[in-house]
Amino acid sequence: MNMTRLIAARMAALAVLALPVCAMAQSAAGGIAGLEVDELTKCVQAIESAPTLDAAATAYARGCTFNRRSSKLQLAYLRRTLQLGRPDIAQFAAEQLSKIDPKAGMAWGTLAYMQAKKAQYFLALTPAVKAAELELRNQSICKDAAQLVAWYEAGKRGNVDAEIARTMKDLPSASKEFAAAYKQAKEAFRKLADVKAEKEKQAKEAEGEAKKAEGEYKKLSDQFKSAGRTYEQERQRLLDAQQELDRLNSRNVGNYNSHKGIYNPNPRQGNQQERDNVQRRINEIQNNLQRQEKEGKKLRTEVEKAHKEAQSKQDQADKLAREAKKVAEGMPDSFDWLPPAVDGVVTPDATAAKPASTGRKTAEPASSYLVPDQAANQPATGRQAPMEQRLAEAQAADKLQMAKLCMGSEAAPMKARARELLAEIVTKFASTPSAAEAKELLAKLH
């Protein structure tokens, strides 16, 4: 009887040792048969009761090693991160869940919120409408969707899928929450249209004033140029008169008569009147130039003033035109965006209260974790993002545990599998704590 029990015990031990070999044939998302469901359930429960984002992220990373495509796991992490006020972290789970379960309205609502928050309204429209169709009683999801639909209908925003277009028309009658928010949004856009019309009117009037000021400036500028040409002509007349006077004066110089052998100091007395006339003309031209210089300075001041005024009015017209365009393309000031409500409660976005960026990248809070897909899009920094690191550590720890289990067997296939697992940990998960231990164990096996 004792021998029978001993044989049964050894066979059971061998069966347990053999399980990892079979389990390793599964994908990385799997685990030991019969163990996955229990461990995954524990991870989901740990996420749901996590007091902090750090605790939720740890449980989520652990759960992903068992089954990353579990809709329960993704939904639990999505809900908990929303409850903790971090829809930016929830976005990864929302992306995964929307692929696994296209009818997960909360996932679509989270994606829509994140796009709307970045003013990517057209990109937010489709997921928002899907979310509202699936979550007809979720007030925050319906409000976001209603605002986006009202925005889309207020102008030419591009083409949407025919099914989304039909859903937009059906939503007001399908959801009281959507209908109420849609009515408010339409009224806000009606008021916005009035603001737009007033801005456009002001811009048009300002443009007219700017053109008028530009005309006045051009008129004065032409006068100034004409005055400049007249001034240059007068200066040339002065130069010519002075040269003429010089010629007349040169005729009065005495000369020597070689035939008579005498010097005549005043050969021509009759050109004095001619010289006086030229001198009077020179004086007149000089007076004109002085007057023109004085008037030119005054005219220049007027031209500069007219130019500044024309520029100022054009700047004002351009500003009003930009404001009118911004009003036409933007959202009413009364609009705000809300993350999806969880069990009827909307937790404010904790990142929305951050101060405006100063151009430098601000550090993430200590309790914040970038999800894997987000981390993959970040520039390489020589180290993994926290959430990606946690996933890697969890996967490495599981593989190390299985490797140790295989090492406990004397069977050659089990030893070989242990070496494969340890080598994978050392190469694929080199930055994890498990890699160092795996390296030591691998050396012992060799």
Angle between helices 139-153 and 105-117 (to 10 degrees): 50
- Residue 322 falls within a domain, yes or no? yes
Q: Which residues of 112-143 are buried (b: 16+ CB within 10 A; e: fewer)?
A: bbbbbbeeebeebbbbbbbbbbbbeebbbbbb
Contacts of 159 (CB under 8 A, 6+ apart): none
Which pLDDT value is given to residue 141?
97
Helix (H/G/I), strand (E/B), else coil: 264: strand
Per-position pLDDT tens, the chain of length 446: 444 443 334 433 333 333 333 333 333 334 444 445 689 999 999 999 999 999 999 899 889 888 989 999 999 999 999 999 999 999 999 999 999 999 999 999 999 999 999 989 999 999 999 999 999 999 999 999 999 999 999 887 889 999 999 999 999 999 999 999 999 999 988 888 788 788 888 889 999 999 999 999 999 999 999 999 999 999 999 999 999 888 888 765 555 555 555 555 555 555 788 888 989 999 999 999 999 999 989 999 999 999 999 999 999 999 888 888 777 666 787 789 999 999 999 999 998 754 443 333 333 333 322 233 333 333 333 344 555 677 777 778 878 877 786 776 677 777 788 888 889 889 888 888 888 888 888 888 76
- Residue 41 falls within a domain, yes or no? no
Which pLDDT value is given to residue 371?
32
Which pLDDT value is given to residue 305?
93
- Residue 277 falls within a domain, yes or no? yes
- Residue 187 falls within a domain, yes or no? no
- Residue 209 falls within a domain, yes or no? yes
DSSP β-bridge partners for residue 255: 264
- Residue 113 falls within a domain, yes or no? no
- Residue 351 falls within a domain, yes or no? no
Which pLDDT value is given to residue 324?
80
Over residues 318-374, the pLDDT tens digits come to 988 888 877 766 678 778 999 999 999 999 999 875 444 333 333 333 332 223 333
Which pLDDT value is given to residue 258?
55
Structural domain of 304: 196-250+271-329
When divided into structural domains, the chain yields a total of 1
Query: For residue 119, is it left (φ>0), alpha (ψ between -120 and 50) or beta?
Result: left
Which pLDDT value is given to residue 27?
37
Which pLDDT value is given to residue 321?
86
Query: For residue 343, is it left (φ>0), alpha (ψ between -120 and 50) or beta?
Result: left
Write out the two tokens for 439. 């390296």
Which pLDDT value is given to residue 83?
96
- Residue 112 falls within a domain, yes or no? no
pTM of the model: 0.54
